[in-house]
Chain A
Amino acid sequence: MSGGVDSAVAAARARDAGHDVTGVHLALARNPQTFRTGARGCCTLEDSRDARRAADVIGIPFYVWDMAEEFHESVVDDFVSEYAAGRTPNPCLRCNEKIKFAAVLDRAVALGFDAVVTGHHARLGADGLLRRSVDLPKDQSYVLAVLTRAQLDRAVFPLGDSTKEQVRAEAAARGLAVADKPDSHDICFISDGDTRGFLESRLGSAPGDIVDGRTGEKLGTHNGAYGFTVGQRKGLDLRVPAADGRPRYVLSITPVSNTVTVGPREDLAVDVVTADRPIWHASSDISDCEVQLRAHGEVVGASVAVTSESLVATLKSPARGVAAGQAIVAYRPDPAGDIVLGSATITAGSRASTHA
């Protein structure tokens, strides 16, 4: 129970469904006085009190579990080292994979609980299939697709059939004060929202070149390649305008040479995506599915070939802003909610053919 409206309503629904429910709030900061005092994120002291209050209203026991060490090692350190390696990690996904449905689940099972209930917006029904939420803008199946079959078997997502608006209305009807609490959008361990500043404090300043992807010309300098993400347009601070006067985007990051390569929008387009560490729930050769390449990103048609170690997706139309480190999640469209076929971690995007 993060202290937000979703987990509070999820807990209440699980209790109403007849389960013996215990509320758990995760303390994720090593030093409770540091990032737990910020007004943002989802692990402040105020959030902990909100979660406790919600548990009291629902009428369930409530505990704070200290997962700071695990969170730091599996999520924060991973976040920093992924950026240092020129990739763009998704810490929420990593937290689901390593904390909520691993460390928390393992502890809960050992204590005699059967499952972890969360307020994620995704559907997981009797058929065991993970599907998108009915509320597509709030759908979180993308950051849950990393869960293995065993993890999904011990997961309960009571909110997938409801829109966020319905969840808020239900919270209000249940007398939960968090009903109108704003959504959290930021990375919870970067309390001021300044990701680049956070990375700079961890990785130090590492000046390098920004070069043109077509000509190889040096266009400017940066203070650390880790501050950039493929597809990024803002914050390049280039003094040399492009010949055609059009905006330039980050095309790639090369940690070895500490180079950020930029170019026009069309050079971002890729139609083959390779990925590793697949978690796959379907047949290994899918000729027709949809893939999503970042959280809340566009969905494109693709064919996918999967082995135990890798995944190759051939896109039916080019995608832009495909960053290594993000997840590729494959879906099969379905009237009862698009079904997650599996997920993998993007290693590269490339162009197999020339699109006009």
Chain B
Amino acid sequence: MLPAALDAYVAAARELGNPSSLHAAGRGARRLVEESRERIAAALGARPSEVVFTGGGTEADNLAAKGIFWARRDADPRKRRVVASAVEHHAVLDAVEWLGRHEGAEIVLQPVDGAGRVDPAAFAALVAAHGDEIAVVSVQWANNEVGTVQPVAELAAIAARAGVPFHTDAVQAVGQVPVDFAGSGAAALTLTGHKVGGPVGVGALLLGRDVPCTPLLHGGGQERDVRSGTLDTPGVVAFATAVEAAVAERAEHAVTVAALRDDLVGRVRSAIPDAILNGDPADRLPGNAHFSFPGCEGDALLLLLDAQGIYCSTGSACSAGVAQPSHVLLAMGADDGRARSSLRFSLGHDSTKADVDALLAALPGAVERARRAGAWKTPG
């Protein structure tokens, strides 16, 4: 956690008070919550009333996908289509698939190109053909695995012209690329605390005032009657502190991190000439470098690098602890082998050239070893 966010958390946690209570302590807590709401709104180009606090990104994604679907379908039973990109985070994808299995939704997954981008023309054609049947659209701002940034404003404008609410999961984008809710034209936007140096377990859905949304959680109706549950005041305060700092430092941070990332990418490519850089080569998150290493299993590489103190991620979902090939890479046209051979290196504010040096010192040996370890599965 960012030191300023942690300090804000601890200071707020020392104060007694439920922001829903009417007495003085409650009013004090409510003031902290409302100030936090205003700070987040200001940092992200939203109105304070558009900030709905949640228990994190997953809840916000579920609220947007399910809540907007339910509200729109209830108002007009023809609106049964749910559109999402094929590379969404599981918090969106699984929520949408659930709507298909249990709520009679018709799921339309928008394909992506080899770089992981949704094609606005294809999306426009879909909206032109079926706009009056679409309940909700969800396309992430930036991909959590390969880092590709989507043409969100363009897609949101297409949806808006047809009167279709457009949700974007911006969990990866806030603090990394410029995010302006009003400017994006989106109807709803997800963000979460721990991706910006705030606490885990607190996030928000930015939800336009006129966007109908049925609650997931019923109870006291604390958040605009769309979300119930006593708010976690210290978490909310720390979240706002972190969002504010991440947005304020974003531009400068992006330049240094992207330069370091470009250095990493260039050096990996010269050390491992057949490594494939995944994702959009230019329009990507500044700290993201994602490669496939043909002939290696990502799992094996991770084990070998972890043993040398280098932390990376296969980026693949774990199903029963078993690494599955990434749905993102498969949607981008990678075959099973390439999808399984991939690894993500993420750089942050505290990453240094020495970190990249350490990676490059370990990587060639690890790749060679992982290739040998992979060979037992495919003899000859």
Contacts and interface: CB of A to CB of B under 8 A. Distances in A.
Interface string A32-54: 11001000000001001000100
B320 A48 contact: yes
B376 A107 contact: yes
A265 to B, nearest CB: 46
B74 to A, nearest CB: 32
Given A25-B321, A110-B369, 20 more contacts: A20-B307, A27-B322, A29-B320, A32-B320, A32-B322, A45-B320, A45-B321, A48-B320, A48-B321, A52-B321, A61-B306, A64-B321, A64-B323, A65-B299, A66-B323, A107-B373, A110-B375, A110-B376, A111-B300, A111-B303
A25 B370 CA distance: 19
Interface of B: 299-300, 303-304, 306-307, 318-323, 369-370, 372-376
A27 B321 contact: yes
Interface residues of A, number: 23
Given A36-B320, A66-B322, A111 B373 contact: yes
Sorted from nearest, which 7 A-B pairs have the closest CB atoms?
A32-B320, A110-B373, A64-B321, A27-B322, A110-B372, A106-B376, A66-B322
| Interface residues of B, dominant DSSP | helix
B140 to A, nearest CB: 26
Nearest to A104: B376
Contact of B370 (A61, A63, A111): A111
B217 to A, nearest CB: 27
Interface string A18-35: 001010010101001100
17 contacts: A22-B307, A27-B320, A27-B322, A32-B322, A48-B320, A64-B321, A66-B322, A68-B322, A103-B376, A107-B300, A110-B369, A110-B374, A110-B375, A111-B300, A111-B369, A111-B370, A111-B373
Contacts of A48: 320-321
A110 B369 CA distance: 6
Most chain B Cβ neighbours within 10 Å, of A20, A66, A68, A106:
A66
Interface in A74-128: 103, 106-107, 110-112
A36 B374 CA distance: 25
Contacts of B375: 110
B339 to A, nearest CB: 14
Contacts of A52: 321
A33 B373 CA distance: 27
A45 B374 CA distance: 25
A111 B299 CA distance: 11
Contacts of A110: 369, 372-376
Contacts, number: 51
Nearest to B376: A106
Interface of A: 20, 22, 25, 27, 29, 32-33, 36, 45, 48, 52, 61, 63-66, 68, 103, 106-107, 110-112
Contacts of B304: 111-112
A185 B373 CA distance: 32
Contact of B299 (A20, A29, A63): A63
A87 B373 CA distance: 35
Contacts of A103: 376
B88 to A, nearest CB: 22
A22 B372 contact: no
Contacts of B322: 27, 32, 64, 66, 68
Nearest to B371: A110
Nearest to B306: A61
Contacts of A112: 304, 369
A92 to B, nearest CB: 22
B301 to A, nearest CB: 10
A63 to B, nearest CB: 6
A52 to B, nearest CB: 8
A63 B374 CA distance: 16
A155 B370 CA distance: 22
A334 B374 CA distance: 42
B128 to A, nearest CB: 39
A2 B51 CA distance: 46
B319 A32 contact: yes
B325 to A, nearest CB: 11
Contacts of A32: 319-320, 322
Contacts of B321: 25, 27, 45, 48, 52, 64
A32 B304 CA distance: 26
Nearest to B303: A63
Nearest to A65: B299
Nearest to A20: B307
Contacts of A63: 299, 303
